[in-house]
Amino acid sequence: MDENTSDIGGNGIEAPGGVWDVVVVGGGAAGLSGALTLARVRRPVLVIDAGEPRNAPAAAAHGLLGRDGIAPLELLRKGREEVASYGGRVVAGRVTAIHRDGGRFVVECADGRRTAARRVLVASGLADELPDVPGLVERWGRDVVHCVFCHGWEVRDTAVGVLGSFHQALLFRQLSEDVTLFLRPGTDLTPDQWEQLAGLGVGVVEGAVSGLETDGADRLAGVRLTSGHTVPVRVLAVAPRFTARASFLGGLGLAVREHPAGFGEQLTVDASGFTGVDGVWAAGNVGDLMAGVPAAAASGTTAAAAIVMDLLTDDARAAARTRRAEDAEVFGGRMEAEVTRRVLGTRAHGVDPLPGT
Ligand SMILES: Cc1cc2nc3c(=O)[nH]c(=O)nc-3n(C[C@H](O)[C@H](O)[C@H](O)COP(=O)(O)OP(=O)(O)OC[C@H]3O[C@@H](n4cnc5c(N)ncnc54)[C@H](O)[C@@H]3O)c2cc1C
């Protein structure tokens, strides 16, 4: 079992009544918030989580009102406990396939476990594809960062290198007067952008980056160029390409689209998280590359509420059908014959019993 996930309620994934109302794929902020909402209205819900939340490398999650600075894994541990306290089940596992089977979905895990659900909430997050610079991956989430809203305050007033976009340089310039933009060979800036960078005092270094330098305390110390020159920085901001973790959903016919700003690929969803495929919702980064933890959690809650409405519409219709069938039973021919027999006995249909019978 992955250390980032703990099975709550055993690792079995059999539904209490044979079929879960909802299987949630992914137990990050989005999936757990969705599961919490579902469990609190007594919907049988199972979360299957591979235990690799995107922000795991970071020491703290920032920007969460009331919980600012909480360790990412601690937040999820609390979330799993909250889901379980309302009867939701959270298990460690990796979903490898989901396909429709009549009116339900069959969910398959890498270890061979299978289960069934009436609805699916996809909350599997995204993968950050980092620039191919030796030594960079190892520093991800520490002194190699991407998001000014997540890490900005923490890197204030330090020497920041930006191996990303012009806009990222502007974002980090709010936090530090010492910002250097590393321009990959072939990157063009408009005259206006050059002027803006100069006006803001952002340094620009043109040339390919070949590696990172660290100091004796394993802190980032500089960015090395192929020219051999090293530019001292304490923090490096990069612009990963974001890709929704959705390859295992091939059988469902979900639509993936490029983010309008070209940041990567995400699932297509509407405001409620509905994917356009009956019975399938998505929440968090898988459908919104830009969502931070609070937005991911909120989208999980929103999607769960939409799923509840969908389920209860089905349930209420089924209840009405059952009632009609029972009514038909009460007033149908067989029941009428039975009532007639009990009330009228042999006088049924006005025929008097024969003497002696
Ligand atoms: C380094 C870093 C620091 C960040 N810091 C902040 C911050 O300070 N504040 C902030 O608001 N945001 C921050 N973010 C953004 C934050 O990580 C995301 O907003 C958040 O994780 C999105 O939540 P999610 O539930 O959509 O996805 P995730 O948190 O990534 O959770 C998805 C879960 O689904 C699981 N999963 C994936 N595929 C499968 C599968 N096939 N089967 C089962 N499970 C699966 C994963 O293992 C994971 O546990 C940071 C991001 C990074 C990269």
Residue 34 Cβ contacting ligand 1 at under 6 Å? no
Q: Could you tell me if 123 and 245 lie in one domain?
A: yes
Q: Could you tell me if 120 and 211 lie in one domain?
A: no
Q: Is residue 101 part of a domain?
A: yes
- In which domain, by residue range, is 217 found? 131-238
Q: Could you tell me if 214 and 91 lie in one domain?
A: no
Which of 177, 209, 238 is a domain's end point? 238
Find the 64 Cα to ligand 1 centroid distance in Å: 14
Model confidence band, residue 249 (pLDDT cutoffs 50, 70, 90): very high
According to the model, what pLDDT value does residue 353 have? 46
Q: Could you tell me if 212 and 144 lie in one domain?
A: yes
The structure tokens 């209420």 sit at: 316
Residue 128 Cβ contacting ligand 1 at under 6 Å? yes
Mutate to test the pocket of ligand 1, among 124, 128, 149, 289 (most ligand atoms within 8 A of CB): 124
146-155, 195-204, 252-261 — most confident range: 195-204
Q: Is residue 262 part of a domain?
A: yes
Residue 53 Cβ contacting ligand 1 at under 6 Å? yes
The tens digit of pLDDT for each residue in 198-227 reads 999 999 999 899 999 999 999 999 999 999
The tens digit of pLDDT for each residue in 308-325 reads 999 999 999 999 999 989
Q: Could you tell me if 161 and 68 lie in one domain?
A: no
Average pLDDT over residues 112-125: 96
pTM: 0.89
Pair 321, 295: CB distance under 8 Å: no
Average pLDDT over residues 12-23: 88
Show Cβ contacts of residue 266 under 8 Å, excluding neighbours closer than 6 positions. Answer: 126, 242, 244, 256, 257, 259, 285, 286, 287, 288, 289
Residue 92 Cβ contacting ligand 1 at under 6 Å? no
Q: Is residue 337 part of a domain?
A: no
Q: Which residues pair with 101 in a beta bridge?
A: 104
Q: Could you tell me if 48 and 123 lie in one domain?
A: yes
Q: Is residue 298 part of a domain?
A: yes
Q: Is residue 347 part of a domain?
A: no
Residue 273 Cβ contacting ligand 1 at under 6 Å? no
Q: Could you tell me if 81 and 150 lie in one domain?
A: no
Q: Number of folded domains in the chain?
A: 2
Largest CA distance in the chain: 122
Q: Could you tell me if 146 and 273 lie in one domain?
A: no
Which of 208, 238, 268 is a domain's end point? 238
Q: Could you tell me if 185 and 260 lie in one domain?
A: no
Q: Is residue 201 part of a domain?
A: yes
Output the residue whose Cα is nearest ligand 1's atom 51: 55
Amino acid 111 reads D
Q: Could you tell me if 182 and 138 lie in one domain?
A: yes
Q: Is residue 341 part of a domain?
A: no
Q: Could you tell me if 43 and 177 lie in one domain?
A: no
Model confidence band, residue 342 (pLDDT cutoffs 50, 70, 90): confident
Residue 80 Cβ contacting ligand 1 at under 6 Å? no
Q: Is residue 343 part of a domain?
A: no
Query: Strand, helix or coil at 178?
Result: coil
Find the 120 Cα to ligand 1 centroid distance in Å: 18
- Give the β-pairing of 220-225 and 230-232: antiparallel
Which of 190, 221, 238 is a domain's end point? 238
Average pLDDT over residues 70-79: 97
Report the CATH number at residue 212. 3.50.50.60
Dist. CA 159–CA 234, nearest whole Å: 5
Q: Could you tell me if 73 and 136 lie in one domain?
A: no
Side-chain-side CA neighbours of 248 within 13 Å: the count stands at 20
